[in-house]
Structure 1
Amino acid sequence: MDVDWDAITHVTKVDPAKPLPADLDVLAGTDLVLVGGSDDVTEENTLEAVEAVRSAIPNVPVFQEPYDAAHVSRETIDRVDAVAVPAVYNGDREHFVGKHVDLFTELGRQPDAFVGSSVPLVGDLLASKGTELVSEIAGKLLGEGYVVQHLESAAAAVSGVEETYTPAQVAGAALATETFYGFPIFYVEYSGTYGGPEDVEAAARYLEETTLCYGGGIDSREQASEILEAGADAIVVGDCFHDDPDAYLETISACE
């Protein structure tokens, strides 16, 4: 499925480790779904979440955003439109450069070199599943420039974030994402707390082709509108999808 990034304004983040709403019809108004999380995520519950979302909204793009190779399987790759791999600018080396270099090292090696290797993220999958996945997964890999701005979040702990960025640094990361790295997504992540529009305003000035996403704490029409008016191309809504379907529907209405 080709994604029309210009049409993406509302993204839903589905955490496989959390219960899904009883009525998944609430997803009908979202433009894209990201399936992934930091805690208690497994290959099995990831696939279950992907399948449930696919059944509810078969015509909406579904991406997997894994934090570990154990979350990825042949089945999840078959069922998603892309595997979105975060490159966390303010994280540790492993979560910006290390995993990606290891992954593409494996992609470029001879088939027999996959046997017995151990590479973070999807490199482990290639090692265990064999060479038939190489071209398929390479075609589905999608880079995300990422800034994690909530130090107390699981996302910060997982990716080794010890300091948040100033708005000027966020702007610099946005500029690097588009002009140097060429990632299609730049993601400002406040992970469970509402950070407001300042970082979005800083980043938006430097992005023309790259999709600017903001995620974190949005649970009302007013917050969704504030972030979009600040220059975000899309809001990412997660917690209220799981916890408060009425608030979640308000965030969708702000994007219409």
Structure 2
Amino acid sequence: MNVDWDEITHVTKVDPAKPLPSDLGVLEGTDLILVGGSDGVTERNSFAALERVADAFPELPIFQEPYSSSHVSRDTIEAADAVSIPAVYNGDRDHFVGKHLELFTEVGQKPDELLGSSVPLVGELIASKGIEAVSELTETVVGEGYVVQHRESTAAAVSGVETAYSSEEVAGAALATETFYDFPIFYVEYSGTYGGPEDVEAAARYLEETALFYGGGIDSSEKVTEILEAGADAIVVGDCFHDDPETFRETIPE
């Protein structure tokens, strides 16, 4: 999986639980697709969304962003260019490290189901050659440092977020993402509401190699400009892709 993060400015968040626009040509000009959501998502609808978008735009990088290991299968891994795993700093333990352990535990126990390998099993433990099968997944995993700032959102509820971060704490999370965790993405998520540039400005000061994503309430070219000028590398647009494709078009930088 090779992505030139310097070329990623516009990201479309596709929710598998929502109907897709009848004309996927609206995606023309976006740079990256993230397939995932917080409510009603399954392995089946994730795969269906991945497959449909990949058929329409085979040249676009497409990441699956699951919040549960049950959303990941051999089919979704093969359909996506990467599996993007959020680590929610201001969420509960499950959504910072617990879900990651759950995913890799399942890979270790059931490589056939997730990776389609023919690796023999010893009891429920993976045999030594199974490391090759596991590496097929680990090579596609992308870590995302995540801060969910809209406490009333579904994303906050499922992630156990009770407190939004101050801008100083957002900056600290950004610094940890790049210098300690070495994730390629740091994502400030306002999930359906517009948070403005303050958190972006705080995080951008500490990021050189890590791509800074902002998502939430982007529904105009003016908001796109404000967030990008504040220092974000990319804006993430989701709701209006599903609900108002014409407005969605306005969010794609020319």
TM-score normalised by the chain length of structure 2:
0.90
Shift of 1:134: 1.1
Shift of 1:106: 6.4
CA–CA distance in structure 2, aligned partners of residues 158 and 42 of structure 1: 15
CA–CA distance in structure 2, aligned partners of residues 22 and 11 of structure 1: 19
CA–CA distance in structure 2, aligned partners of residues 97 and 50 of structure 1: 25
Shift of 1:114: 7.7
Q: Quick check: 2:69–2:102 contact (8 Å CA) kept in 1?
A: no
| Alignment length (residue pairs) | 242
Q: Quick check: 2:67–2:99 contact (8 Å CA) kept in 1?
A: no
Percent same amino acid at aligned positions?
A: 72
CA–CA distance in structure 2, aligned partners of residues 202 and 114 of structure 1: 50
Residue type matched to 2:181 in 1? Y
CA–CA distance in structure 1, aligned partners of residues 196 and 122 of structure 2: 47
Residue type matched to 1:171 in 2? A
Residue type matched to 1:42 in 2? T
What secondary structure is seen at the aligned counterpart in 2 of 1:227? helix
CA–CA distance in structure 1, aligned partners of residues 123 and 194 of structure 2: 43
CA–CA distance in structure 1, aligned partners of residues 209 and 194 of structure 2: 26
CA–CA distance in structure 2, aligned partners of residues 18 and 230 of structure 1: 31
Shift of 1:108: 7.1
In structure 1, what is the equivalent of residue 139 of structure 2? 139
Shift of 1:14: 0.1
Q: CA RMSD in A?
A: 2.1
Structure 1: gaps of 5 or more residues: 118-125
CA–CA distance in structure 1, aligned partners of residues 223 and 24 of structure 2: 23
Shift of 1:217: 0.7
1:109-148 map, 5 Å: 112=121, 115=124, 133-148=133-148
The Cα offsets for residues 167-225 of structure 1, whole Å up to 9 and x where unpaired, read as 00000000000011100000000000010000000000000000000000101000111
In structure 2, what is the equivalent of residue 76 of structure 1? 76
In structure 1, what is the equivalent of residue 112 of structure 2? none
CA–CA distance in structure 2, aligned partners of residues 7 and 159 of structure 1: 30
CA–CA distance in structure 1, aligned partners of residues 106 and 67 of structure 2: 18
In structure 1, what is the equivalent of residue 169 of structure 2? 169
Residue type matched to 1:191 in 2? S
CA–CA distance in structure 2, aligned partners of residues 172 and 57 of structure 1: 37
Q: Quick check: 1:27–1:56 contact (8 Å CA) kept in 2?
A: no
CA–CA distance in structure 2, aligned partners of residues 113 and 233 of structure 1: 46
Structure 2: gaps of 5 or more residues: 110-118
TM-score normalised by the chain length of structure 1:
0.89
What secondary structure is seen at the aligned counterpart in 2 of 1:29? coil
Residue type matched to 2:4 in 1? D
Q: Quick check: 2:69–2:103 contact (8 Å CA) kept in 1?
A: no
Shift of 1:68: 1.0
Cα distance change of structure 1 residues 175 and 59 upon mapping to structure 2, 3 Å threshold = same
The Cα offsets for residues 124-148 of structure 1, whole Å up to 9 and x where unpaired, read as xx9xxx8774121111111000000
In structure 2, what is the equivalent of residue 31 of structure 1? 31
CA–CA distance in structure 2, aligned partners of residues 240 and 160 of structure 1: 25
1:208-223 map, 5 Å: 208-223=208-223
Shift of 1:64: 0.1
Shift of 1:100: 2.6
What secondary structure is seen at the aligned counterpart in 2 of 1:235? strand
Q: Quick check: 2:153–2:191 contact (8 Å CA) kept in 1?
A: yes
